[in-house]
């Protein structure tokens, strides 16, 4: 959420952001409602002030009974007027709040224009040395994992429904090995591991910007809670309504949780295998830093490099793209996607997303810090927030098994994962 004062002073910038992000948002409507809200609030405050003054007059010693009755009559009228204003203000505030949570954040000037992920621009391409090449027709991950009894998609569908799956034997071991490796890798980068809830309240999703726009992709319980699609939701909300010390920034959290997505709008996309599933495990990098664009940019590059470094250790070819305006979320200022090479499809598939938000999320969640350069309330600032996938399972298994397959169908286990696989070097 943006500051209403900023919106009032920069309405053309908001219109530009909506255009770049292809978001249908009417900033003029918001400002019209905001004017009503301010006028009603001013009228209410003036009447409240008058009410307080008249109430004070009632306590003056020696006040004539006749004058007391006049004051009481006036207070009665004011009270009824305030009730009417309060009712109108409540209605206007609901409209105002709905519009405020729909204001798009301002994208960085480096964000390219475009309508969808097809318009994202490659900024980096990495391949192992020596480059992995196949002198045979590579199998897809489904065939490989079924060949070695690493997964059962048929049973997954019968038990869990569409996009369901079972991982077993070396499929299960490989997923756990990747997660343990990622935990060690990111802990070495200064991230504090945290297992966070998947079942969350609506306020946490509003705070992180996943509601109201993303409701159709969320699972909701009969009790009103939601199943989160990323550990970012609970990990960020852990700091809600807190005032942090500047000396304690940045906060770096590695949030682990089961994740759930309905994949609404993904009908017909990646219907088989492990790429687009409803239930998965994920480690997420979360950073809270000082309210500085330069700091946000610095940590954005850092968390992206952390994920790249992990893929390089695994020897998985990938490229990095900068997301165009139409492929940015409502709150994102800038976003990179890291996409890994899928030999069977001869294309890249996204495995990591890296974003920064400035104070869009922290303003909603009320996460602030004391700026040492100022004193008192005026020294409180909203921190900036960033996040990036550390490891999403089982999606990361796809480029791993496909890039390490051999002509005989066996799968070489990357050397760095072997200690987590009991020293095993090959599957099959």
261 a catalytic residue: yes
Give the pLDDT mean for 4-18.
Answer: 97
**Continuous segment of H or E residues that includes residue 350:** strand 347-358
The backbone torsions φ and ψ at residue 7, rounded to the nearest 5 degrees and listed phi first, read -65, -45
350 a catalytic residue: yes
Q: For helices 11-21 and 27-57, what crossing angle results, to 10°?
A: 140
Give the pLDDT mean for 65-84.
Answer: 88
Residue found by looking up tokens 């990990």 in the block: 235
- Cβ neighbors of 234 (< 8 A, separation 6 or more) are 196, 197, 198, 200, 204, 228, 255, 257
Asked whether the predicted pLDDT for residue 306 surpasses 80, the reply is yes
| Domains of the chain as residue ranges with CATH | 4-100 (1.10.287.40), 117-427 (3.30.930.10)
Q: Return the pLDDT at 265.
A: 67
- Bridge pairing between strands 368-370 and 243-245: parallel
CA dist 111 and 93 (Å) reads 33
292 a catalytic residue: no
Question: Do the beta carbons of residue 228 and residue 200 sit within 8 Å?
Answer: yes
Looking at 146, 263, 279, 350, which residue is catalytic? 350
CA dist 391 and 387 (Å) reads 12
Query: What does pTM read for this prediction?
Result: 0.92
Residues 330-385 have pLDDT tens digits of: 999 999 999 999 999 999 999 999 999 999 999 999 999 998 765 555 589 999 99
Asked whether the predicted pLDDT for residue 288 surpasses 60, the reply is yes
Looking at 261, 342, 363, 364, which residue is catalytic? 261
CA dist 414 and 426 (Å) reads 9
Residues 181-233 have pLDDT tens digits of: 999 999 999 999 999 999 999 999 999 999 988 899 999 999 999 999 999 99
- CA geometry: angle 379, 385, 386, nearest 5 deg: 155
What is the full DSSP assignment across 219-274?
Answer: EE-TTS-EE-SSTHHHHHHTTTT-EEEGGGPPEEEEEEEEEE---TT-TTSS-STT
Cα 340 to its chain centre, rounded Å, is 21
Looking at 8, 38, 262, 276, which residue is catalytic? 276
Looking at 198, 257, 296, 353, which residue is catalytic? 353
Asked whether the predicted pLDDT for residue 135 surpasses 70, the reply is yes
Q: Residue 109 CB: number of other CB atoms within 10 A?
A: 6
Residues 405-423 have pLDDT tens digits of: 999 999 999 999 999 999 9
The residue among 398, 385, 191 whose CA lies nearest residue 311 is 398
């Amino acid at each position: 959420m943006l500051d209403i004062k900023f919106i009032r002073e920069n309405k053309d910038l908001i219109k530009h952001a909506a255009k770049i992000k292809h978001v249908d948002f009417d900033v003029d409507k918001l400002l019209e409602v905001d004017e009503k809200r301010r006028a009603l609030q001013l009228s209410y405050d003036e009447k409240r002030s008058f009410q307080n003054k008249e109430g004070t007059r009632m306590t003056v010693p020696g006040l004539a009974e006749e004058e007391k009755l006049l004051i009481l009559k006036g207070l009665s009228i004011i009270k009824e007027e305030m009730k009417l204003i309060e009712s109108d203000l409540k209605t206007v505030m609901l409209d105002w709040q709905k519009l405020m949570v729909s204001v798009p954040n301002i994208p960085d000037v480096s964000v390219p224009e475009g309508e969808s992920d097809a318009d994202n621009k490659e900024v980096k391409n990495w391949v192992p040395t020596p480059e992995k090449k196949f002198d045979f027709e590579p199998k897809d991950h489904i065939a490989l994992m079924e060949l070695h009894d690493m997964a059962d998609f048929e049973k997954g569908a019968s038990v869990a429904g569409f996009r369901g799956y079972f991982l077993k034997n070396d499929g299960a071991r490989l997923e756990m090995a990747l997660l343990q490796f990622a935990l060690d890798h990111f802990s070495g980068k200064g991230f504090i591991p945290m297992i966070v809830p998947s079942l969350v309240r609506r306020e946490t999703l509003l705070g992180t910007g996943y509601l109201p726009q993303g409701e159709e992709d969320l699972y909701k319980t009969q009790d009103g809670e939601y199943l989160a699609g990323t550990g970012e939701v609970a990990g960020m909300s852990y700091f809600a309504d807190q005032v942090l010390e500047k000396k304690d920034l940045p906060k770096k959290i590695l949030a682990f949780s089961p994740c759930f997505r309905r994949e609404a709008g993904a009908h017909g996309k990646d219907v088989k295998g492990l790429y687009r599933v409803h239930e998965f495990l994920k480690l997420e990098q979360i950073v809270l830093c000082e309210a500085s664009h330069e700091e946000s940019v610095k940590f954005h590059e850092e968390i992206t490099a952390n994920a790249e470094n992990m893929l390089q250790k695994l020897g998985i070819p990938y490229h990095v793209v900068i997301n165009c305006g139409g492929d940015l979320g409502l709150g994102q200022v800038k976003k990179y996607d890291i996409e890994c090479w899928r030999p069977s499809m001869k294309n890249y598939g996204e495995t990591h997303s890296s974003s920064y938000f400035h104070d869009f999320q922290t303003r909603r969640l009320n996460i602030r810090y004391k700026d040492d350069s100022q004193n008192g309330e005026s020294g409180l600032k909203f921190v900036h927030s960033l996040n990036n996938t550390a490891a999403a399972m089982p999606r990361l298994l796809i480029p791993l098994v496909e890039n390490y397959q051999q002509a005989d169908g066996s799968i070489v286990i990357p050397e760095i994962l072997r200690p987590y696989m009991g020293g095993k070097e090959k599957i099959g």
